[in-house]
């Protein structure tokens, strides 16, 4: 993977379509990607996450944590709520109060040369690192100070979490489903975590379980143990903590109704099957088969399977929920309020150059208001004509079809959205709305290479929200009885497209599924499809 490909993958998986080191979820995602690539994740992350504070960062305002604008500081250093404070100002306060300062190498110091350090800090002349002498004899400088949560780094970047808002990465969330299954098999008295009484009794069951980490990887085991220690003793847990536990619990209950003795695979076999089938199909692993965990009915025999055909590999998976006639059951896991998927990568295979549908922030910035409006008008007309030729039933909703946003930023975003939509509807490149809808649901209409998999959507209250089957070689068509809705509002910089697709297995109808895609601009100035 090249650096560009790494950044693209990170962007694709991130919450907003563009990654930020100030976003705990994005930081965790990057670490996961680096580990998957067998790269020195800890070393790279320590460099990227700005562990230390060079001189140029000291005058930056603190935007998150206890000393941010919205908060009031710490017990020892109170701060007026609503007041902006810089890292330099906080450092002055901490030195004046003889508070210990953390260093990037793990050591701590109390500053002994207070006078000269404070004089420099208060003068504002901090173009160079300021020498520090600790009362313990350590000699260092301000560039070696650790950028802790107090100084505005994220919990994830700082490597910390707390009971009120635990940071739980994707792998841990997925393996929590396995843990809940193991506990329920051992003691079916485990219930949802909604009431404080049930919460407390559940953790007695969890703590007494001897088999909860069966089929769980060592890394995830350590993280789950840490999570349980962090939140297990809470007397009045917050709702968001209960959601973290209820989502995997609800999915585990659903799995055990069909597979009461379920065992799981997320190790070597899981990785090998995904890698091999990705190589055969030329599809990303998650697009060939979005399953996050495999239920094991019997040990799969991988010997003799062909290296140039996916057929035998797909036959490893059952075709109906509850079946045990094949070795594996592929399960895709989602939380009730899961991150929106990124579907823009669908367009990549239809373009020789991504500039065919992308436009840079710089190019947008060089366009006048009149040029933007003229471009939007042209693209709108092209979109309507293309849709008319397709023969789709279409409803144009919203109040923005004959007007334009007054905000220049939204106007630029709207232009970029219509430019991308024009590419999508241009029949010369074979892209299509139905193809985009299907891709977002992990149905690749060209390849039709997936095995049967099942998407289980957990519930914040402990009851599963949805179970959806995606049959092997699933294809899709637009539901001719339901019009496509295209929404454009004057107050928004985005465009929303909604529709209903019919999933088929060959010539057989499977089910309908409502879906929508939103074209919008990210903070980095690129149009995303979510």
Is there a single domain that holds both residue 412 and residue 499?
A: yes
Is there a single domain that holds both residue 26 and residue 117?
A: yes
Is there a single domain that holds both residue 117 and residue 211?
A: no
Is there a single domain that holds both residue 143 and residue 179?
A: no
Q: Residue 311 domain-assigned? A: no
φ, ψ of residue 314 in degrees (nearest 5): -65, -25
Most confident of 41-50, 313-322, 344-353, 515-524: 313-322
Q: Residue 283 domain-assigned? A: no
* Tokens linked to 439: 């891709």
What is the bridge-based pairing of β-strands 328-334 and 293-296?
antiparallel
Q: End of a domain among 213, 232, 264?
A: 264
pLDDT digits (tens, 9 = 90+) for 117-132: 999 999 988 888 899 9
Is there a single domain that holds both residue 179 and residue 224?
A: yes
Is there a single domain that holds both residue 57 and residue 127?
A: yes
Q: What is the pLDDT of residue 49?
A: 46
Select the more confidently predicted residue: 247 or 68: 247
Q: Residue 253 domain-assigned? A: yes
| DSSP secondary structure, 206-258, as one string | HHH-SSTTTT--HHHHHHHHHHHHHHTT-SS--HHHHHHHHHHHHHHHHHHHH
Q: End of a domain among 235, 264, 293?
A: 264
Split into its structural domains, the chain has a count of 3
Is there a single domain that holds both residue 372 and residue 521?
A: yes
180: nearest Cα among 125, 251, 243: 251
Is there a single domain that holds both residue 384 and residue 442?
A: yes
Q: Residue 291 domain-assigned? A: no
Q: Residue 274 domain-assigned? A: no
Q: Residue 179 domain-assigned? A: yes
Find the mean pLDDT for residues 374-381: 91
Is there a single domain that holds both residue 90 and residue 211?
A: no
- Band of residue 509 on the pLDDT scale cut at 50, 70, 90: low
Q: Residue 354 domain-assigned? A: yes
Q: Residue 319 domain-assigned? A: no
Q: End of a domain among 201, 236, 264?
A: 264
pLDDT digits (tens, 9 = 90+) for 159-201: 556 777 787 888 889 999 999 999 999 999 999 999 999 999 9
Is there a single domain that holds both residue 96 and residue 226?
A: no
Contact present, 437 and 476 (Cβ < 8 Å): yes
Is there a single domain that holds both residue 414 and residue 525?
A: yes
Range of the domain at 230: 170-264
Is there a single domain that holds both residue 401 and residue 509?
A: yes
pLDDT digits (tens, 9 = 90+) for 322-369: 999 999 999 999 888 654 555 666 676 676 767 777 777 778 888 999
Q: What is the mean pLDDT of the chain?
A: 84
Contact present, 297 and 320 (Cβ < 8 Å): no
pTM exceeding the 0.85 threshold for the entire prediction: no
Residue 214: pLDDT above 90?
Answer: yes
């Amino acid at each position: 993977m090249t650096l560009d490909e790494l950044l693209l993958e990170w962007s694709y998986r991130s919450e907003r379509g563009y990654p930020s080191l100030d976003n705990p979820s994005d930081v965790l995602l990057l670490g996961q990607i680096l580990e998957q690539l067998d790269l020195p994740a800890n070393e790279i992350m320590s460099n990227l996450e700005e562990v230390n504070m060079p001189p140029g960062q000291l005058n930056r305002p603190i935007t998150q944590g206890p000393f941010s604008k919205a908060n009031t500081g710490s017990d020892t250093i109170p701060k007026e709520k609503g007041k902006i404070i810089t890292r330099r100002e906080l450092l002055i306060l901490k030195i004046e109060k003889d508070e210990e300062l953390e260093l990037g190498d793990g050591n701590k110091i109390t500053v002994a040369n207070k006078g000269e350090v404070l004089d420099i800090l208060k003068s504002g002349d901090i173009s160079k690192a300021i020498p520090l002498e600790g009362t313990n004899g350590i000699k260092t400088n301000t560039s070696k100070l650790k950028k802790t949560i107090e100084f505005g780094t994220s919990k994830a970047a700082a490597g910390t979490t707390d009971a009120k808002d635990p940071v739980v990465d994707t792998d841990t969330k997925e393996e929590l489903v396995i843990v809940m299954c193991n506990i329920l098999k051992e003691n079916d008295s485990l219930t949802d975590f909604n009431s404080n009484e049930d919460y407390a009794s559940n953790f007695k069951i969890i703590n007494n379980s001897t088999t909860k980490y069966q089929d769980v990887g060592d890394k995830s085991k350590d993280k789950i143990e840490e999570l349980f220690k962090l939140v297990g003793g809470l007397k009045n847990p917050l709702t968001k903590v209960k959601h973290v536990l209820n989502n995997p619990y609800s999915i585990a209950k659903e799995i055990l109704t069909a597979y009461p003795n379920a065992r799981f695979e997320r190790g070597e076999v899981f990785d090998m099957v995904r890698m091999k089938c990705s190589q055969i199909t030329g599809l990303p692993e998650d697009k060939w088969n979005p399953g996050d965990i495999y239920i094991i009915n019997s040990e799969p025999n991988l010997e003799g399977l062909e290296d140039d055909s996916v057929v035998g590999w797909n036959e490893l998976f059952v075709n109906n929920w509850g079946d045990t006639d094949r070795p594996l059951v592929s399960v895709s896991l989602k939380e009730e309020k899961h991150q929106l998927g990124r579907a823009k990568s669908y367009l990549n295979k239809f373009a020789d150059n991504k500039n065919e549908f992308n436009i840079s922030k710089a190019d947008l910035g060089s366009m006048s208001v009149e040029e933007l409006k003229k471009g939007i008008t042209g693209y709108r007309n092209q979109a309507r004509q293309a849709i008319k030729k397709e023969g789709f039933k279409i409803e144009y909703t919203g109040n923005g079809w004959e007007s334009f946003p007054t905000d220049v930023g939204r106007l630029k975003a709207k232009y970029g959205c219509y430019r991308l939509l024009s590419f999508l509807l241009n029949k010369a490149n074979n892209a299509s709305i139905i193809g985009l809808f299907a891709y977002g649901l992990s149905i690749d209409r060209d390849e039709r290479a997936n095995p049967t998999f099942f998407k289980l959507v957990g519930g914040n209250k402990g009851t599963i929200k949805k179970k959806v089957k995606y049959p092997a070689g699933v294809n899709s068509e637009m539901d001719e009885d339901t019009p496509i809705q295209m929404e454009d509002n004057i107050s928004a910089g985005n465009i929303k497209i909604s529709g209903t697709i019919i999933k088929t297995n060959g010539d057989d109808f499977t089910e309908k599924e409502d879906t929508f895609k939103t074209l919008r601009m990210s903070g980095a100035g690129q149009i995303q499809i979510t």
